[in-house]
């Protein structure tokens, strides 16, 4: 559609030149003004002429009427002037010839914008705290982050996915203390990360009763910082156990990372950044702590060092950003975390700017809202969590039950149930604007009807089934569009690249989930209203099979951008 819009914009620019030879409008500017009307009766595209009124010194109604008269552009059937709007109706036959041919030719590259050639993007996402299991609260950073990575890769960027593990801090002093008091090697080997969580919850409950245990935990962490051999050995063991557990979830989501460098990796890189702040006169002492005063920028001070000289999150994040710039020379560094950390990122981004790093404006924070189940918030410290593996297992089990009832003889149904169950959770989450708080409702997520993952995966399987039954068709044969449902489907398919660009520009995967629903809806209307395999003649049958393959291709490409498996059978 981008190319079609540009052709139309070019034709409009020529018309404007005829209206006023002194006025030259940029084609891309006109193309950006073209809108999709809310009702197809008002056209497939519309140009509001109000913004041009002052430039052309002419009423919008007259501008629209003059442009509409004798208007001609590739893929345009006709143009009408209505109340200052130029309503443009596209030719379904010409659109199909252009769009379907391009889809069948480009295949898995269809819809990929050429935005990222020679550019590198670093993405920091997922990043769980070690020794704690994945719960539903981790779903946002993980699937939003990976979707943003896939979108950038699709657009040609070189992407570096970083899992910035929370593998440092006083919680390890607590965990080491708890392990020595109540744990055992056998217990941890059998229970894995769950056993570590039990110890963590127990020590926090114990500290609430006996504050001296907090001092004991701080002492153990200090020993860890000083390189105590026994504490380091325990710490590394806890990390290995945690990563083994996390990999199971990442495998279900088909997610991999390029780096697992956590907070601990940057402990020896922070002093240089602290010294730079000192040398630049940016550090101030406030009640014994070292801060960067951000009052003139409307923010609280950014804490760099505690009273005892120990570092904080901003110190580590600044050191990490400098290291990543030096290592990857990124054009953009994206951080996907909860909206609750927005102030933290605004503060240290500003500190990076004040430190004189000219790449400060390449740092991007992508916030997302909270998630709950039945309105209950989650907290690992108290043990009140909904584990992601349990959520996935429940979804898989429910899907398996539905499949057993509807298609008990389906081959490979265990794998398919996993793809649909996990996909249902992911799609439900990514269907919402990322900044919204979400209350997860399993029954809604698993429905095969409505705007859900199972519905769109079922639609993809439907396209596969139709093509499988047809065995083959002539991809080089001319297309014959005979009914509105065919043209409507093509028009939706043509908008894929626009939606990809929009999702990248806004860091918003829900743009893709909404688009997938549009494609699924258009294909299912086409499927129900147009006989495909039983079409009245071979040419129409061939056209409808080509449309089916085009829909399958676009759905598959879009699925790949949101961690959704391509299910060929349901």
Rounded to an integer, the average pLDDT of 249-260 is 92
Rounded to an integer, the average pLDDT of 459-475 is 90
pLDDT at site 231: 94
CA 181 to chain centre: 43
Q: Which residues of 537-559 are buried (b: 16+ CB within 10 A; e: fewer)?
A: eeebbbbbbbbbbbbbbbbbbbb
Q: Are 17 and 23 in contact (CB under 8 A)?
A: yes
pLDDT at site 382: 43
pLDDT at site 17: 80
Q: What is d(CA 162, CA 271) in angstroms, rounded to the nearest whole number?
A: 23
Q: What is d(CA 322, CA 363) in angstroms, rounded to the nearest whole number?
A: 11
Residues 6+ apart with CB under 8 A from 49: 60, 61, 63, 64, 67, 84, 85, 86
CA 24 to chain centre: 39
Q: Which residue has the tokens 């056993």?
A: 195
Q: Going along 138-279, which residue ranges are E strands?
A: 158-162
Rounded to an integer, the average pLDDT of 162-169 is 91
Q: Using N-to-C axis directions, what is the helix angle for 413-430 and 229-253, rounded to 10°? A: 100
Q: What is d(CA 259, CA 251) in angstroms, rounded to the nearest whole number?
A: 16
Q: Which residues of 302-329 are buried (b: 16+ CB within 10 A; e: fewer)?
A: bbbbeeeeebbbbbbbbbbbbebbeebe
Work out the end-to-end distance of the chain between its first and last CA atoms, rounded to an integer number of angstroms: 32
Candidates 547, 508, 540; CA nearest to 524 is: 547
Candidates 445, 555, 409; CA nearest to 489 is: 555
CA 351 to chain centre: 28
Candidates 21, 71, 140, 35; CA nearest to 498 is: 35
pLDDT at site 385: 66
- 122 - beta bridge partners? 160, 333
Band (375; pLDDT cuts 50, 70, 90)? low
Residue 229's CB: how many other CB atoms inside 10 A? 7
pLDDT beyond 70 at 374:
no
The phi-psi region of residue 563 (left if phi > 0; otherwise alpha if psi is between -120 and 50; otherwise beta) is left
CA 473 to each of CA 22, 179, 542, 543: distance values in angstroms, whole numbers, following the listed order: 53, 65, 6, 9
CA 509 to chain centre: 4
pLDDT at site 390: 85
pLDDT beyond 80 at 341:
yes
Rounded to an integer, the average pLDDT of 201-229 is 91
CA 125 to each of CA 105, 161, 525: distance values in angstroms, whole numbers, following the listed order: 34, 7, 38
Q: Residue 129 carries which DSSP code? A: B
Rounded to an integer, the average pLDDT of 417-428 is 91
Element (H, E) at 322: helix 313-328
Q: Residue 58 carries which DSSP code? A: S
- Does residue 556 or residue 405 have the better pLDDT? 556
Burial of residue 406 (CB within 10 Å: 0-12, 13-18, 19+) is: exposed
At 1, list the tokens.
Answer: 């559609």
pLDDT in tens, 345-365: 999 999 999 999 999 999 999
Rounded to an integer, the average pLDDT of 263-273 is 92
pLDDT at site 134: 83
> What percent of the chain shows pLDDT beyond 90?
62
pLDDT beyond 90 at 38:
no
pLDDT at site 381: 45
Q: Which residues of 144-174 are buried (b: 16+ CB within 10 A; e: fewer)?
A: bbbbbbbbbbbbebbbbbbbbbbbbbebbbb
pLDDT at site 380: 45
Q: What is d(CA 558, CA 564) in angstroms, rounded to the nearest whole number?
A: 9
At 504, list the tokens.
Answer: 């990248």
pLDDT at site 509: 97
pLDDT at site 413: 85
pLDDT beyond 90 at 450:
no
pLDDT at site 55: 81
CATH number of 2-90: 3.30.1360.70
Residues 6+ apart with CB under 8 A from 149: 121, 123, 125, 159, 161
pLDDT in tens, 326-339: 999 999 999 999 99
pLDDT beyond 60 at 377:
no
Q: Which residues of 2-26 are buried (b: 16+ CB within 10 A; e: fewer)?
A: eebbbbbbebbbebbeeeeeeeebe
Candidates 338, 320, 339; CA nearest to 330 is: 320
- Does residue 28 or residue 494 have the better pLDDT? 494
Burial of residue 420 (CB within 10 Å: 0-12, 13-18, 19+) is: buried
- Does residue 456 or residue 389 have the better pLDDT? 456
pLDDT at site 376: 57
Domain boundaries, the chain: 2-90, 169-261, 388-559
pLDDT at site 409: 81
Q: What is d(CA 47, CA 11) in angstroms, rounded to the nearest whole number?
A: 12
Band (508; pLDDT cuts 50, 70, 90)? very high
**β 371-373/438-440 pair status:** parallel
Q: Are 565 and 559 in contact (CB under 8 A)?
A: yes
Q: Residue 137 carries which DSSP code? A: G
HEC profile of 152-187: HHHCCCEEEEECCCECCCHHHHHHHHHHHHHCCHHH
CATH superfamily to which 388-559 belongs: Isoleucyl-tRNA Synthetase; Domain 1 (1.10.730.10)
The mean pLDDT value of the chain amounts to 90
């Amino acid at each position: 559609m981008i190319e079609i819009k540009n052709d139309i914009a070019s034709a409009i620019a020529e018309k404007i030149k005829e209206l006023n030879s002194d006025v030259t409008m940029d084609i891309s500017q006109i193309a950006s003004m073209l809108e999709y009307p809310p009702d197809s009766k008002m056209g497939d595209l519309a140009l509001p002429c109000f913004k041009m009124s002052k430039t052309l010194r002419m009423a919008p109604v007259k501008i629209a009427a003059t442009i509409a008269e004798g208007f001609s552009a590739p893929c345009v059937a006709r143009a009408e002037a209505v109340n200052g709007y130029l309503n443009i109706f596209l030719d379904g036959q010409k659109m199909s010839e252009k769009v379907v041919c391009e889809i069948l030719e480009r295949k898995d590259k269809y819809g990929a914008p050429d935005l990222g050639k020679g550019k590198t993007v670093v993405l920091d996402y997922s990043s769980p705290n070690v020794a704690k299991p994945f719960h539903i609260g981790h779903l946002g950073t993980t699937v939003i982050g990976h979707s943003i990575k896939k979108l950038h890769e699709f657009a040609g960027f070189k992407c570096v996915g970083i899992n910035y593990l929370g593998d440092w801090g006083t919680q390890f002093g607590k965990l080491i203390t708890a392990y020595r008091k109540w744990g055992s090697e056998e217990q941890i080997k059998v229970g894995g990360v769950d056993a570590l969580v039990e110890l963590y919850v127990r020590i926090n409950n114990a500290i609430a009763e006996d504050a001296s245990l907090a001092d004991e935990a701080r002492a153990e962490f200090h020993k860890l910082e000083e390189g105590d051999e026994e504490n380091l050995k325990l710490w590394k063991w806890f990390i290995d156990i945690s990563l083994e557990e996390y990999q199971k979830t990442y495998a279900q989501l088909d997610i991999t990372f390029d780096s697992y460098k956590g907070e601990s990796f940057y402990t020896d890189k922070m002093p240089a950044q602290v010294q730079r702040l000192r040398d630049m006169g940016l550090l101030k002492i406030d009640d014994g702590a070292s801060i960067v005063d951000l009052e003139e920028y409307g923010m609280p001070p950014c804490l760099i060092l505690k009273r005892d000289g120990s570092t904080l999150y901003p110190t580590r994040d600044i050191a990490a950003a400098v290291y990543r710039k030096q290592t990857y020379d990124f054009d953009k560094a994206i951080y996907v975390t909860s909206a609750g950390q927005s102030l933290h990122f605004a503060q240290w981004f500003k500190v990076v700017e004040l430190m004189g790093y000219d790449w400060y404006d390449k740092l991007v924070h992508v916030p997302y809202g909270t998630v709950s189940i039945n309105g209950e918030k989650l907290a690992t410290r108290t043990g009140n969590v909904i584990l992601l593996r349990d959520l996935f297992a429940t979804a898989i089990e429910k899907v398996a039950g539905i499949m057993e009832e509807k298609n008990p003889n389906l081959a490979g149904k265990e794998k398919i149930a996993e793809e649909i169950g996990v996909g249902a959770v992911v799609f439900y989450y990514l269907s919402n604007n990322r900044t919204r708080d979400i209350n997860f409702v399993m029954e809604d997520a698993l429905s095969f009807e409505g705007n859900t993952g199972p519905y769109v995966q079922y639609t993809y399987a439907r396209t596969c089934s139709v093509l499988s039954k047809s065995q083959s068709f002539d991809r080089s044969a001319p297309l014959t569009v005979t009914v509105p449902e065919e043209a409507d489907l093509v028009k939706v398919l043509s908008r894929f690249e626009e939606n990809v660009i929009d999702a990248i520009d806004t860091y918003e995967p829900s743009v893709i989930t909404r688009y997938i629903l549009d494609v699924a809806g258009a294909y299912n209307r086409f499927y129900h209203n147009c006989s495909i395999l039983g079409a009245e003649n071979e040419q129409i049958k061939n056209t409808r099979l080509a449309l089916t393959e085009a829909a399958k291709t676009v759905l598959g490409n879009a699925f790949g951008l949101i961690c959704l498996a391509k299910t060929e059978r349901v």
